[in-house]
């Protein structure tokens, strides 16, 4: 840990930001724990609060664990817009660099990150340490060097940030990451960390779960389930992950009504022709937003559009229709290289 370099950077940083400046901290889309905790640390380092230094992102947090972190640590992330960011005196970003945002970003003043592959500098203040496993490590070094008090909430966030970016200190980890981790360890709240790891389910979900489990059917490796109305988006996602664990299941499509939308979460094991993202795009791209990766994808369809396309939004009818649509789509998908090789015995 190079304290003299960090000391110099802190001086630079504090000289750049004037007392009355309104600072926006912009995070990558679907912010992760490293980004969120680093933003909290930057705010502390600058002696600011959420009124004078709000956090923004262009796309909200979606992963269940990350949403639990947001909820438990009361992290407020506002939806970003280029117009609104223009009204700020300073724009800072952590765990990401200006080229990521392209035209959407009006300006960049402060950049602290660990991602390689960007041509810099892109801002008057820049500290990019590509060897580090997490931006939260850089921020912990800043706080330690500045002798800032690290609250339990901040320590918990940073610890979780380092842990998740380095997969429990097993990937891209440096001596500095371990040093930061060790410093934060006694300051963090363990029951909170445990809760972030295992998101709580609302008790009312037990009823939905018991009804759904009774109807559980697997056909040709496919499991389709409509949960009906749910109170949270992540319940659909968690259910899809859970169902993928059953023996013989290769594809899962779990649907649920959330607000005025039908949300469909799709998972597969990525064998053969599987491409979850392509499947939801082809099935629902015209009546809703749909997309994702090979193994996980999601569609969000306004219920009124579903009704216009399929005549009804009754739960049983939705489930029946999904049972018709998915097998056709799965078999329609082009065969992958690996599957072809396996079939030909190469």
CB of 9 to Mn ion, least distance (A): 18
**Residue bearing tokens 């990350």:** 66
Options 10, 88, 95, 268; binder of Mn ion; rule CB under 5 A: 95
Applying CB under 5 A, the site for Mn ion has a residue count of 4
Q: Which stretch binds Mn ion (CB under 5 A): 23-31, 133-141, 176-184, 259-267?
A: 133-141
Shortest distance, position 25 Cβ to Mn ion, whole Å: 14
Which lies closer to Mn ion via its Cβ, residue 158 or residue 266? Answer: 158
Evaluate whether 84 touches 15 at the Cβ level (below 8 Å).
Answer: no
Judged by CB under 5 A, does residue 113 bind Mn ion?
Answer: no
Q: How far apart are CA 95 and CA 29, in angstroms?
A: 11
Q: How far is the CB of 112 from Mn ion (least distance, A)?
A: 11
Which window, 65-73, 162-170, 239-247, 330-338, contacts Mn ion (CB under 5 A)? Answer: 162-170
| Among the residue ranges 26-34, 55-63, 179-187, 314-322, the one whose residues contact Mn ion (CB under 5 A) | 26-34
In whole angstroms, the minimum distance from the beta carbon of 95 to Mn ion comes to: 4
Q: Does 177 bind Mn ion (CB under 5 A)?
A: no
Name the DSSP class of 148: -
Asked if residues 327 and 305 have their Cβ atoms less than 8 Å apart, the reply is no
Minimum gap (Å) between residue 185 Cβ and Mn ion: 19
Identify the helix (H) or strand (E) that includes residue 43. helix 33-45
Count of C-beta atoms within a 10 Å radius of residue 243: 22
Q: What does the per-residue mask of binding to Mn ion show for 230-269, with x meaning CB under 5 A?
A: ----------------------------------------
- With CB under 5 A as the contact rule, the residue among 13, 31, 34, 322 that binds Mn ion is 34
CA atoms within 13 A on the CB side of 52: 12
Contact (CB, 8 A) for 290 and 274: no
SS3 21: coil
Question: Residue 206 CB, nearest distance to Mn ion (Å)?
Answer: 36
Instruction: Find the part of the chain contacting Mn ion (CB under 5 A) among 77-85, 104-112, 160-168, 214-222.
Output: 160-168
- Binding part of the chain for Mn ion, among 34-42, 68-76, 238-246, 262-270 by CB under 5 A, reads 34-42
Who contacts 102 (Cβ-Cβ below 8 Å, separation ≥6)? Answer: none
**165: contact with Mn ion by CB under 5 A:** yes
Shortest reach from residue 333's CB to Mn ion, in Å: 33
Smallest gap, in angstroms, from Cβ of residue 332 to Mn ion?
A: 38
- Listed residue (40, 64, 56) closest to 135, CA to CA: 40
Q: Which residue is nearest to Mn ion (CB)?
A: 34
Radius of gyration in angstroms for the set of CA atoms belonging to the chain, rounded to a whole number: 23
Determine contact, residues 29/58, Cβ cutoff 8 Å.
yes
User: Which regions of the chain does DSSP assign to beta strands (E)?
Assistant: 23-27, 55-57, 77-79, 90-94, 110-113, 125-128, 218-219, 222-229, 251-258, 261-268, 289-292, 296-302
| Residues contributing to the site for Mn ion (CB under 5 A) | 34, 95, 135, 165
């Amino acid at each position: 840990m190079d304290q003299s370099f960090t000391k110099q950077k802190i001086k630079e940083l504090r000289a750049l930001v004037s007392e009355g400046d309104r600072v926006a901290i912009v995070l990558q889309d679907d912010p992760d724990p490293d980004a969120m905790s680093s933003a909290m640390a930057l705010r502390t380092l600058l002696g600011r609060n959420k009124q004078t230094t709000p956090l923004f992102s262009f796309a909200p947090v979606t992963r269940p664990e990350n949403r639990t972190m947001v909820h438990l640590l009361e992290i407020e992330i506002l939806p970003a817009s280029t117009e609104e960011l223009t009204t700020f005196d300073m724009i800072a970003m952590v765990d990401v660099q200006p080229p990521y945002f392209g035209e959407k970003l009006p300006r960049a003043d402060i950049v602290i990150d660990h991602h390689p592959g960007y041509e810099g500098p892109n801002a008057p203040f820049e500290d990019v340490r590509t060897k580090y496993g997490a931006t939260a490590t850089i921020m912990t070094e800043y706080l330690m060097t500045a002798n800032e008090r690290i609250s339990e909430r901040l320590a918990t966030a940073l610890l979780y940030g380092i842990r998740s970016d380095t997969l429990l200190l097993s990937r891209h980890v440096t001596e500095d990451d371990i040093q930061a981790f060790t410093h934060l360890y006694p300051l963090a709240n363990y029951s909170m960390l445990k809760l972030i790891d295992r998101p709580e389910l609302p008790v009312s979900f037990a009823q939905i779960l018991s009804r759904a489990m009774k109807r559980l059917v697997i056909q040709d490796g496919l499991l389709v389930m409509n949960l009906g109305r749910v109170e949270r988006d992540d319940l659909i996602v968690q259910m899809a992950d859970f169902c993928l664990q059953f023996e013989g299941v290769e594809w899962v499509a779990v649907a649920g009504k959330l607000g005025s939308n039908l949300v469909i979460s799709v998972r597969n094991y990525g064998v053969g022709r599987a491409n979850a993202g392509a499947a939801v795009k082809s099935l629902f791209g015209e009546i809703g937003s749909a997309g994702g990766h090979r193994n996980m994808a999601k569609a969000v369809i306004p219920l009124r559009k579903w009704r216009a396309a399929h005549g009804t939004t009754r739960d049983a009818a939705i489930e029946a229709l999904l049972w018709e649509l998915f097998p056709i789509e799965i078999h329609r998908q082009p065969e992958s290289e690996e599957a072809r090789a396996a079939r030909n015995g190469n």
